[in-house]
Amino acid sequence: MNSALPSPADYTLTAPLKLLIVDDSLVIRRSIERHIEKWNFASIQTAGNGAIAMEIFRKEPADIVTMDITMPEMDGLSCVEAMLRIKPNVQILVISALADKSTAVEAVKRGAMGFLLKPFDAAKIHEALQEMIEDVV
Amino acid sequence: MHQQREALRPMEMNSENESFFKKYLYPLLIIALLSIIGVGLYFENTSLVRQIENLQKLSQICSQQISLLHQIQADLSIVQPSPLENNSDSTLTSSIDLKTPTLHLVPRSEEARLAWEQMEKNNSILEQGGEHATQPLPPRIRGESLTTIFTLQKNLHEQFTPLLKTPIETSLEESLRLLNQSHENRLKLKNEIETLNARISTEIETLRNQSTLVHQGAFGAFLLSALVGLGTFFTMVRRSTDHAQHVFLQLKDSNEALTKTSSALRQYKLETELIFKTIRQGLFLMNRDFQIGSNHTEELISIFQTKELTGMTLTGVLQRILSEKMYRTCCDYLEMLFDSSKRERTLVKINPLDEIEVHFPDGSGGFQTKFLCFNFNRVVSDQNEIHQVFVSVRDITEQIQLTRQLQASEKRKERQFLLLMGILHVKSEDLQKFTEQTLQEIDQINAEMKAENLSGVTLGIAQDAMLRQRMNGTFRKVHAIKGNATYLGLDYFVHITNEIEDRINELKNTPRLSGEDFLGLVLQVSELKNALHEIEDLKIRLLSLREAKLGHPVVESSVTLEAGLENLCRTLSRQTDKIAKIELSGFHSDAIPAHRTEIIKQTLIQFIRNSFSHGIEATTERESKGKDPTASISVLGHYDSAQRSYHLVYRDDGKGFDTDLIRRACLNHGFLTMQEAQSVSDDEIIPYIFKPQVTTTPEADQLSGRGVGLDLVHHQIVNELGGTIQTAHQKEAFCEFRVTIPC
């Protein structure tokens, strides 16, 4: 839109941040990974359900987490709370396809910092993640 | 203006100070001068008064001298008869009447002497100029009088001396002579004293006049001074009055300014009120207790359908119009609006009230549905605290309704688009064939329906059975259209045919059919026909467009049957959780006799759809069985010119036929009795898949599963063309169809 701004795909992190992508859909995990592959994250990890996500997070707490709300094993809301207990300043971007905003409100109430509605495009995920990053840096 | 006035004030003060000196110094000097003159004159007057008093005393002395002189004369000139017993004592024998020898001058010498001494004393006072006078009388008063008086008195004294001796030595005659001699001197003395007295009186009069003048002067000076003082005072008063007036004017100015400000404020208030009245949005401020501020737009009242909002909370309003769950969510949300740790942008995104369906009681026991749109903006103080939230609320019911209408029309447009997209990628020859065939099928359907007596008169069970038979025929035809549409990728037709199939299935479950039940069906079929005409129309228009662009008639490269089959597999793989690849190395459509191409195409389409519906497992299921997630379909075909027949072998590597399911379906549809079902072998049960309505998937879907696909194929090949269809299968490994079609 504005040619003066650097393309979001070329956004470069100023700090070495760790990203964790939690989503039960492989397609969405891949999609997010693809959207931010040039952002120079220190590490990018993915998890297909809440339990795996928590396992990863306990070993290596990420700075930014994208979190699907509805997942098997352990739902996103419980994950948000558990992660915040481990690392209170973790920035969690909740991603949900639910038209019902109650879940979104609940997630933010429990401490998620951002919210993104599925389906999303490159611009939306870029914007949402950049907001998270700005809050960490 | 006001500020300028303020700025000028110190300068005014300076000039005021200057003028103060100018205006007050001179009057003060004048007052001082006048006062000095006044005081001077006053003292002058005092001295004059003292002089006057002195002169008055002197005048009295003069009068006293005259009376003393008279007394002396009287004392000395007392003549009385000599006393008998004391003749000898008579010292002065005189008689005015000398004829009376018995008379004697008996002077009261003592008294006369005392009076004389008094006169002498008075004389010295007169000489001094007064009893306590420091200087003698001025010459103009004194003149020669005093000298004359002293001389006369000296003369008189000489004359009187003999008379003053006691006892008197002189004879009466002598005494009388002396007295007569002194008469002239006495007279002179008396005159002289009176002259002096007159002069003194004149002086007194003069001095009195002077005094009066001085007195008046002093008075005048004081009066003037007082007047000047008063004048100054009044000037001062006037000045202070002027100042007061100035202050008053300033006050008036500021009052006017205030009036202006207040009228501006009133104007502003009126405007605000007008805005609040006219704005078609509910606007208000909400505090931490979710209380609705008293300043809100009028619209808010109509939006919330309440008479009074004062003291009400937003949560209170929401509780009335929202579901319990939504209300709780909204309470959480409103709490977070005041929580500065929550990012506002995130809160905007998750706003649960941005398009909320609410229900208001309509007063007659029912309710009215509205859609409201709330927006929340934090009001952040300088200290970064959130005290209030600015809330705007709009009634978006109409918009929502419009949006829904728009969505419906969008859907229609989408269908048209699908139609267009469908025909764009379809070879015009195939499309032509499709429309021709479909029109033919539709005409047949319509003919069947028209043939029925749709007057509503029921002919009992016989008619019901007949209707059901016809309906099955219709179903088969519609299903065939669907198959063709899927093959060509005409999604819109797939959609409509699916709807017709659904309708027929509904009718099948109806206990008793009547002609009227077909009305809906007729309409749907006519929609199909309309779509076909639309396709024709679109096709022509597209063709002309393409020709116009290319500048020459379009020569289409024909899409082969092989490509069509591959396309179908890809489409179905995309639409399902199954993936299959079709192997066509042993199949060449060129080898098929032209008049059998259509039936072979139809047959293969049905087989492929059947595989996707029943035989082929989902990728995950295949993975768990250790199979390649991608299923494999193979087609072999050859033309036996000797026997003049075409042989087709179709195989998929799915799970094979589910014989238990087929058995159950046969039982359900009454093709077999329980006994028969138990007795027939697996190989014997498989051919039942070609019976109408036998299906092995629990739910019908778009692909197949309504038990008509294979039914149709079997009907055409075996019944109409006299061919054969054989099956072979191995559980969890494959299923196979061997088809022979006479050519």
Chain B residues touching residue A135 (CB < 8 angstroms) = 343
What sections of A7-95 are H helices per DSSP?
Answer: 26-35, 50-59, 76-86
Q: Do B350 and A104 touch (CB under 8 A)?
A: yes
Shortest alpha-carbon distance between residue A104 and chain B (Å): 6
Lowest mean pLDDT, pick from A15-24, B110-119, B692-701: B692-701
Residue B90: band (very low, low, confident or very high) from pLDDT cuts 50, 70, 90 = very low
What is chain A's length? Answer: 137
How much is the mean pLDDT over chain B?
79
The span from the CA of A57 to the CA of B438, in Å, is 60
Q: Residue B287 gets which letter from DSSP?
A: E
Look up tokens 């549905």; give the residue. Answer: B369
Q: B289-332: per-residue pLDDT in tens?
A: 999 988 888 888 888 888 888 888 999 999 988 888 889 999 99
Residue A76 contacts B where some CB pair is shorter than 8 Å? no
pLDDT above 70: percentage of residues in chain A: 88
pLDDT above 90: percentage of residues in chain B: 11
Indicate if ipTM > 0.90: no
- Contact (Cβ atoms closer than 8 angstroms) between residue B389 and residue B367: no
- Contact (Cβ atoms closer than 8 angstroms) between residue B103 and residue B93: yes
The span from the CA of A92 to the CA of B353, in Å, is 23
Examine the pLDDT at B572 and tell me if it is beyond 80: yes
Distance of CA B737 to the CA centre of its chain: 80
> Which of these, B187, B264, B218, B299, lies nearest to B38 by C-alpha position?
B218
The span from the CA of B102 to the CA of B91, in Å, is 13
Residue B167: band (very low, low, confident or very high) from pLDDT cuts 50, 70, 90 = low
Chain A residues touching residue B325 (CB < 8 angstroms) = 102
The span from the CA of B82 to the CA of B337, in Å, is 152
Q: Which residue has the higher pLDDT, B737 or B7?
A: B737
Q: Mean pLDDT across the stretch B178-185? A: 78
Name the residue facing B336 among A101, A102, A109 (closest C-beta): A109
Q: Mean pLDDT across the stretch B529-539? A: 79
Neighbour tally for B629: CB within 10 Å:
13
Identify the contact set of chain B against chain A, taking CB-CB distances under 8 A: 325-326, 329, 332-333, 335-336, 342-343, 345-347, 349-352
CA angle B284, B285, B289 (to 5 degrees): 125
pLDDT score recorded for residue B565: 87
Q: Which residue has the higher pLDDT, B648 or B411?
A: B648
The span from the CA of B318 to the CA of B48, in Å, is 109
Examine the pLDDT at B215 and tell me if it is beyond 90: no
- Whole-model pTM: value is 0.40
Neighbour tally for B263: CB within 10 Å:
10
Chain A residues touching residue B335 (CB < 8 angstroms) = 109
Run of H or E residues at B520:
helix B519-550
pLDDT score recorded for residue B700: 45
Residue B88: band (very low, low, confident or very high) from pLDDT cuts 50, 70, 90 = very low
Name the residue facing A108 among B325, B326, B336 (closest C-beta): B336
The span from the CA of B599 to the CA of B605, in Å, is 10
Name the residue facing A113 among B332, B335, B343 (closest C-beta): B343
Q: Is the dihedral of CA B615, B618, B623, B628 positive or negative?
A: positive
The span from the CA of B256 to the CA of B264, in Å, is 12
Shortest alpha-carbon distance between residue B577 and chain A (Å): 14
Most confident of A67-71, A80-84, B367-371, B713-717: A80-84
Q: Mean pLDDT across the stretch B224-244? A: 75
Name the residue facing A102 among B342, B347, B352 (closest C-beta): B352
> Which of these, B136, B115, B18, lies nearest to B69 by C-alpha position?
B115
Lowest mean pLDDT, pick from B352-356, B676-680, B718-722, B731-735: B676-680
Residue B97: band (very low, low, confident or very high) from pLDDT cuts 50, 70, 90 = very low
Shortest alpha-carbon distance between residue A31 and chain B (Å): 19
- Which residues are CB-neighbours of B665 under 8 A, at least 6 positions away? B688, B693, B694, B695, B696, B707
Q: Mean pLDDT across the stretch A96-104? A: 76
pLDDT score recorded for residue B698: 47
Lowest mean pLDDT, pick from B45-49, B340-344, B368-372: B45-49
The span from the CA of A111 to the CA of A90, in Å, is 9
Examine the pLDDT at B93 and tell me if it is beyond 60: no
* Closest chain B residue to the Cα of A100, Cα to Cα: B352
Q: Which of A26, A80, A102, A117 to mutate to test the interface with B (most CBs of B within 10 A)?
A: A102
Q: Do B343 and A131 touch (CB under 8 A)?
A: yes
The span from the CA of B733 to the CA of B654, in Å, is 6
Q: Which residue has the higher pLDDT, B702 or B710?
A: B710
Q: Mean pLDDT across the stretch B489-496? A: 82
pLDDT score recorded for residue B213: 84
Most confident of A40-49, B355-364, B568-577: A40-49
Q: How far apart are the first and last CA of chain A?
A: 26
Examine the pLDDT at B457 and tell me if it is beyond 50: no
pLDDT score recorded for residue B704: 46
Residue A99 contacts B where some CB pair is shorter than 8 Å? no
Examine the pLDDT at B611 and tell me if it is beyond 70: yes
* Closest chain A residue to the Cα of B331, Cα to Cα: A105
Q: Residue B721 gets which letter from DSSP?
A: T
Residue B708: band (very low, low, confident or very high) from pLDDT cuts 50, 70, 90 = low
pLDDT score recorded for residue B401: 85
Chain A residues touching residue B349 (CB < 8 angstroms) = 104, 114-117
Residue A24 contacts B where some CB pair is shorter than 8 Å? no
Shortest alpha-carbon distance between residue A134 and chain B (Å): 12
Chain B residues touching residue A114 (CB < 8 angstroms) = 343, 346, 349
Name the residue facing A131 among B325, B345, B351 (closest C-beta): B345
Most confident of A73-82, B387-396, B477-486: B387-396
Most confident of B58-67, B100-109, B241-250: B58-67
pLDDT score recorded for residue A7: 52
- Contact (Cβ atoms closer than 8 angstroms) between residue B617 and residue B570: no
Neighbour tally for B716: CB within 10 Å:
19
What sections of B342-383 are H helices per DSSP?
Answer: 344-350
Q: Mean pLDDT across the stretch B82-92? A: 44
Q: How many CB pairs under 8 A join A and B?
A: 43
- Contact (Cβ atoms closer than 8 angstroms) between residue B332 and residue B338: no
- Contact (Cβ atoms closer than 8 angstroms) between residue B657 and residue B610: no
Examine the pLDDT at B252 and tell me if it is beyond 70: yes
What sections of B391-518 are H helices per DSSP?
Answer: 397-424, 428-451, 461-488, 491-508
Q: Which residue has the higher pLDDT, B118 or B176?
A: B118
Q: φ and ψ at B634, to 5 degrees?
A: -125, 145
Q: Which amino acid is at B144?
A: E
Most confident of A106-115, A127-136, B101-110: A106-115
The span from the CA of B352 to the CA of B357, in Å, is 11
Structure tokens at B315: 């949560």
pLDDT score recorded for residue B2: 46
- Which residues are CB-neighbours of B236 under 8 A, at least 6 positions away? B24
Structure tokens at B641: 């010119």
Lowest mean pLDDT, pick from A35-39, B346-350, B689-693: B689-693
- Contact (Cβ atoms closer than 8 angstroms) between residue B394 and residue B373: yes
* Closest chain A residue to the Cα of B326, Cα to Cα: A102
Shortest alpha-carbon distance between residue A113 and chain B (Å): 7
The span from the CA of B635 to the CA of B612, in Å, is 15
Residue A105 contacts B where some CB pair is shorter than 8 Å? yes
Chain B residues touching residue A108 (CB < 8 angstroms) = 336, 342, 346-347, 350
SS3 (DSSP) at B232: helix
Q: B139-163: per-residue pLDDT in tens?
A: 777 777 778 888 887 887 777 777 7
Write the DSSP assignment of B91-124 as a string of letters: -----SSTT-TTEEE---HHHHHHHHHHHHHHHH
Query: Using a CB cutoff of 8 Å and minimum separation of 24, what contacts does B188-194 make?
Result: B188/B148, B188/B152, B189/B69, B189/B149, B189/B152, B189/B153, B189/B156, B190/B66, B190/B69, B192/B145, B192/B148, B192/B149, B192/B152, B193/B62, B193/B65, B193/B66, B193/B69, B193/B145, B193/B149, B194/B62, B194/B66
Distances in whole angstroms, Cα of residue B201 to Cα of each of B51, B65, B102, B121, B198: 12, 15, 47, 21, 5
Q: φ and ψ at B313, to 5 degrees?
A: -105, 155
Q: Mean pLDDT across the stretch A72-93? A: 88
Q: What share of chain B is helix, strand, coil (3-state, %, to 5)?
A: 65, 10, 25
- Contact (Cβ atoms closer than 8 angstroms) between residue B112 and residue B163: yes
Structure tokens at B188: 């002179």
Name the residue facing A102 among B325, B342, B345 (closest C-beta): B325
Q: Residue B456 gets which letter from DSSP?
A: S
pLDDT score recorded for residue A80: 92
SS3 (DSSP) at B671: coil
Shortest alpha-carbon distance between residue B438 and chain A (Å): 38
Structure tokens at B713: 């194929």
Look up tokens 């928590």; give the residue. Answer: A54
* Closest chain A residue to the Cα of B323, Cα to Cα: A102
- Contact (Cβ atoms closer than 8 angstroms) between residue A98 and residue A104: yes
Most confident of B379-388, B451-460, B687-696: B379-388
Examine the pLDDT at B276 and tell me if it is beyond 60: yes
Shortest alpha-carbon distance between residue B651 and chain A (Å): 32
Q: Do B347 and A108 touch (CB under 8 A)?
A: yes
The span from the CA of B697 to the CA of B156, in Å, is 190
Q: Do A105 and B329 touch (CB under 8 A)?
A: yes
Examine the pLDDT at B44 and tell me if it is beyond 90: no
Q: Do B346 and A106 touch (CB under 8 A)?
A: no
CA angle B342, B348, B352 (to 5 degrees): 100
Q: Do B332 and A106 touch (CB under 8 A)?
A: yes
* Closest chain A residue to the Cα of B349, Cα to Cα: A115
Name the residue facing B346 among A102, A106, A108 (closest C-beta): A108
Run of H or E residues at B437:
helix B428-451
How do A18-22 and A43-47 pair as beta strands?
parallel
Q: Which of B345, B350, B351 to mutate to test the interface with A (most CBs of A within 10 A)?
A: B350
Examine the pLDDT at B633 and tell me if it is beyond 90: yes
Q: Which amino acid is at B6?
A: E
Q: Do A105 and B349 touch (CB under 8 A)?
A: no
- Contact (Cβ atoms closer than 8 angstroms) between residue B164 and residue B116: yes
Q: Residue B717 gets which letter from DSSP?
A: I
